[in-house]
Structure 1
Amino acid sequence: MEQVEPRTSWTFVTNHARILAMVLRDPEIRLRDLAGSCELTERAAGAIVRDLEGAGYLTRVRRGRRNHYEVTPGTLFRHPAEGRHEIANLLHLLVDLDPLAGAAGHPSTGGDYREREPHR
């Protein structure tokens, strides 16, 4: 019987989800920092931000020399298998897994996004 090598190039969380969680954690995060955390080029991270913005998952506003990002509350997963569920639960799980997130592990979003009741 032939030995099959395990596939190691895939992960459960996409870079799109990682970047959205990082934006939720820090709305003033720099593109350079997004790229570094995801081990991407700035160009690739910028393309992901544009994807997320174009799909309505986040908005970007220029404030002086910096961008300010805001995750859009109530957005749903894109795949039909999960499409009736909001992405908020996944994003907050990712934020809570990060030891560098705020003192209680919760981001400061400036709104009531975290307090929203999830759809089940």
Structure 2
Amino acid sequence: MENGTAPGGSWTFLTNHARVLVQIARDPGIRVRDIAARCLLTERAVQRIIADLEQAGYLSHERRGRANHYHVIDGKQLRHPADSGPTIAELLATLLRSSADGGSPAPKAGPGDRT
């Protein structure tokens, strides 16, 4: 799926940048290796995406021992003019909603599950 193809079509609703940002928002101490596995990307692709997000001011990081700890810049607005208005915090709040606040978490597909 790294090449952008998905079952049932060649497009998806979220970009790889959004997927990586969601994983970091869920766990600011997550390893690149774990982001790659969850997003079905290579570690190198995740590193490039993180660099893009940092360069654009959506993300920062600090070293804590041998690991990175990331910080999402919540007040930053979305990049595309058609998406102007909402902030990263508002986007992430929608994508990260849990059953505790009225939303329902995305179902986890197992290896034998089919859609």
TM-align CA RMSD: 1.7
Gap regions ≥5 residues in structure 2: 1-7, 102-115
- Is the CA contact 1:73–1:88 (under 8 Å) kept in the aligned structure 2? yes
Alignment check: 8 A CA contact 2:77 2:85 kept: yes
Structure 1 unmatched ranges of 5 or more? 1-6, 98-102, 106-120
Identity %: 54
Q: What residue in structure 2 maps to residue 50 of structure 1?
A: 51
Deviating above 6 A after TM superposition, structure 1's stretches of 4 or more consecutive aligned residues are none
Determine if the alignment matches structure 1 residue 65 to structure 2 residue 66: yes
Name the structure 2 match of 1:100. Answer: none
Separation of aligned partners in 2, 1:17 and 1:33: 15
Select the structure with the greater relative contact order (CA < 8 A; seq sep ≥ 6). Answer: 1
Deviates more, 1:85-94 or 1:75-84: 85-94
Partner in structure 2 of residue 108 of structure 1: none
**1: CA distance between counterparts of 2:43 and 2:19?**
14
- Give the total of aligned pairs: 94
| TM superposition shift of 1:92 | 1.8
Report the TM-score, using the length of structure 2 for normalisation.
Answer: 0.75
1:30-69 CA-partner distances (Å, limit 9, x unpaired): 0001111110000001000000010000101111010000
Name the SS of the counterpart of 2:96 in structure 1: helix
Q: What TM-score does the superposition give when structure 1 sets the normalisation length?
A: 0.72
Could you give the per-residue CA deviations for residues 64-95 of structure 1, whole angstroms, max 9, x where no partner exists? 01000000120101000112221222212222
